[in-house]
């Protein structure tokens, strides 16, 4: 999967999606993808295998199991992923779950 395919899948499933940040304030629920630090395989001053670790943040106000199932089974269904537990962001008054995977 590429970042463009990730964007397409998110939008196809009805999520508001952005890479990095939204240009304008956007009400949850939404998904934001960012690139985490890389873990490339290197030897002899050369990268032999590069990967792109992605963090996909799902931000919401009200718990919706159906939406989380769409993320886990349809958007990320064909790639290995991990996720964090739900975290309440007091300052923003929203919940967030982060999914981690590689492209």
In 1-103, which ranges are continuous DSSP H helix? 3-12, 65-69
CATH classification at residue 90:
3.30.2000.30
- Residue 57 domain flag: yes
The SS3 of residue 63 is coil
- Residue 42 domain flag: no
Supply the pLDDT for residue 1. 86
Range of the domain at 28: 3-37+52-102
Supply the pLDDT for residue 41. 80
- Residue 44 domain flag: no
Domain count, the chain: 1
Look at the pTM and tell me if it is higher than 0.85: yes
- Residue 31 domain flag: yes
How high is the mean pLDDT of the chain?
A: 93
pLDDT at 14 over 80: yes
Supply the pLDDT for residue 103. 85
- Show the CA angle centred on residue 59, arms to residues 55 and 64, nearest 5°: 115
- Residue 45 domain flag: no
pLDDT digits (tens, 9 = 90+) for 25-75: 999 999 999 997 777 788 888 888 778 899 999 999 999 999 999 999 999
Supply the pLDDT for residue 50. 76
- Residue 47 domain flag: no
- Residue 46 domain flag: no
CA–CA distance from 50 to each of 7, 43, 47, 67, 76 (Å)? 21, 12, 7, 31, 20
pLDDT at 94 over 90: yes
Supply the pLDDT for residue 78. 96
Supply the pLDDT for residue 42. 83
- Residue 85 domain flag: yes
């Amino acid at each position: 999967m590429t970042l463009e395919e990730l964007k397409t899948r998110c939008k196809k499933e009805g999520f508001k999606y952005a890479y990095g940040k939204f240009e304008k304030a956007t009400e949850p629920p939404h998904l934001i993808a960012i690139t985490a630090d890389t873990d490339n395989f290197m030897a002899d001053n050369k990268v032999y295998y590069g990967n792109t670790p992605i963090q996909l943040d799902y931000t919401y106000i009200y718990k919706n199991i159906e939406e989380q199932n769409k993320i886990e089974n349809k958007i990320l269904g064909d790639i290995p992923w991990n996720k964090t537990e739900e975290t309440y962001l007091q300052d923003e008054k929203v919940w967030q779950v982060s999914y981690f995977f590689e492209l």
